[in-house]
Structure 1
Amino acid sequence: MSFAIIGFGKVGQALAKAFARSDIEVSVATTRDPESFASEVAAIGPAIIPKKLADAVKADIIFLAVRFESHREVAKALPTWQGKTIVDVTNAYGVPPEELGGQPSSKVVAHAFTGGRLVKGFNHLVAAVLGQDPAVHGGRRAVFLSSDDDSAAAEIGALAEKLGFAPIPLGGLSEVGLLVQARGNSWGRLIFKDLVKFD
């Protein structure tokens, strides 16, 4: 199983730190040349590999950590995303609902990544919190996951566990999953909630 993070802003770097803590190799890419951010990658750890976008998208599981407006550009990197799981870490805050055709933002992203299995997740925490060790006071920081594909949600849940988080499944994108999706100028009710699960 191979992993990639597309986008290396604050959220992309926070995700990279999570992989580095668990010593799980992950490639990172942007639309820029990988040499332009290689020093920042090296500072995080040896498990983080800078790559060109065309190479990073060969991974099995891809974290989409770009601005919502950039998702269509990334989706053009492959003619089909068949066999891949996309983790939608974007937030469509400020995007008028009419631009989304009245659909939840993750449905719009899923439509762009033709053939891929989409899981909404890791987007409800601010980057500064997401980048911290998820082991908190003897518990694990929660990450909410929603998907219309139960097996894809389970796959990302297992990965979240390996990264030290406590995955909380929310069901389908258009139902409870709306709790972690921004709509217009309002945030989903679970966004910014920093919760800890104790086993």
Structure 2
Amino acid sequence: MTTIGIIGSGALGSNVARALAKAGIRATISNSRGPTSLSALIEETGPTITAGTVEEAASADVVLIALRWVDLKQVLSKLPAWNNRIIIDGTNPVEFLDSQSPDANDSANPLAAYGIKAIDLGNQYSSALVQDLVPGARVVKAFNHLGVEVLAEPQASGGQRVQFYSGDDSAAKGEVRKILETAGYFPVDLGTLEVGGRLASLPFGPLAAINFIKIQ
């Protein structure tokens, strides 16, 4: 049985855990504060979701990275070798702004009203930078293009919520597709990381934040 780990228990990680729990999919979720800080979430989701350390979650066959962009290097640099395991990159290159900071009122920032700021990656796409932080892993981009508040409900309006994914390893994409399907989403393959990642990444990807429903 494929094991699943989640690194990060903010809105992204917690809502994916809720979706997995509803489908009876087992996973270990973690954060920097330790397993005891997750007791309320574990009580809510039931026995299929367990709390663990970051290292325990990172040892799973498939690991969702549900971290803020600014925390990626600090967290991922401390983890052991990935040994061809699968990383689901759920991140987006944005910075969350303090409401009192000058950036939060910067008229040149079109996202200031949403409390975020795009991080300039130059000509790079975000998953290429994530790949550099997880050497030896097979990276699949998913869970990043929707508002986190809807992720806990894979089924909506009489249909299935579309979940875009992309990657450069077909076998890894197949494993992630199985998880998405079992959770109740309708997976749509956008191709390679460079193509699909750019299409679906927040904040400026043309498919970002578009909430498609596949009607039965």
Q: 1:86·1:118 contact (CA, 8 Å) conserved in 2?
A: yes
Deviation string, structure 1 residues 26-68 (Cα, Å, up to 9, x no partner): 0000111211222222222221100011211110000101101
Tell me which residue corresponds to 2:147.
126
The answer to whether structure 1 residue 188 and structure 2 residue 205 are counterparts is yes
Task: Give 1:85 deviation, angstroms.
Answer: 0.5
1:149 to 155, 169, 176: 169
Runs of 5+ in structure 1 lacking a partner? none
The answer to whether structure 1 residue 162 and structure 2 residue 162 are counterparts is no
Partner Cα distance (1:164, 1:135) in 2: 6
Secondary structure, counterpart of 1:55 in structure 2 = helix
Partner Cα distance (2:129, 2:3) in 1: 25
Task: Give 1:123 deviation, angstroms.
Answer: 0.8
AA at the equivalent of 1:96: I
AA at the equivalent of 2:62: I
Q: 1:42·1:48 contact (CA, 8 Å) conserved in 2?
A: no
AA at the equivalent of 1:147: G
Partner Cα distance (1:137, 1:122) in 2: 19
Tell me which residue corresponds to 2:38.
37
Secondary structure, counterpart of 1:174 in structure 2 = helix
Tell me which residue corresponds to 2:193.
173
Task: Give 1:157 deviation, angstroms.
Answer: 0.8
AA at the equivalent of 1:157: R
Secondary structure, counterpart of 1:24 in structure 2 = coil
Secondary structure, counterpart of 1:78 in structure 2 = coil
Partner Cα distance (1:52, 1:96) in 2: 29
TM-score by length of 1: 0.91
Q: 1:114 to 1:25 in 2, by over 3 A?
A: same
Partner Cα distance (1:28, 1:77) in 2: 17
Partner Cα distance (1:81, 1:73) in 2: 16
Root-mean-square deviation (Å): 1.5
The answer to whether structure 1 residue 106 and structure 2 residue 127 are counterparts is yes
Q: 1:27 to 1:176 in 2, by over 3 A?
A: closer
Once the two structures are aligned, what percentage of the paired residues are identical?
34
Q: 1:57·1:77 contact (CA, 8 Å) conserved in 2?
A: no
Runs of 5+ in structure 2 lacking a partner? 95-116
Q: 1:140·1:196 contact (CA, 8 Å) conserved in 2?
A: yes
Matches within 5 A, 1:81-92: 81-92=82-93
Deviation string, structure 1 residues 95-121 (Cα, Å, up to 9, x no partner): 532xx3531011100111000000110
Tell me which residue corresponds to 1:15.
16
Q: How many residues align?
A: 193
The answer to whether structure 1 residue 55 and structure 2 residue 72 are counterparts is no
Most deviating of 38-47 and 13-22: 38-47
AA at the equivalent of 1:105: S
The answer to whether structure 1 residue 138 and structure 2 residue 182 are counterparts is no
Task: Give 1:177 deviation, angstroms.
Answer: 2.6
Q: 2:8·2:66 contact (CA, 8 Å) conserved in 1?
A: yes
Deviation string, structure 1 residues 134-155 (Cα, Å, up to 9, x no partner): 2233321100001111221111
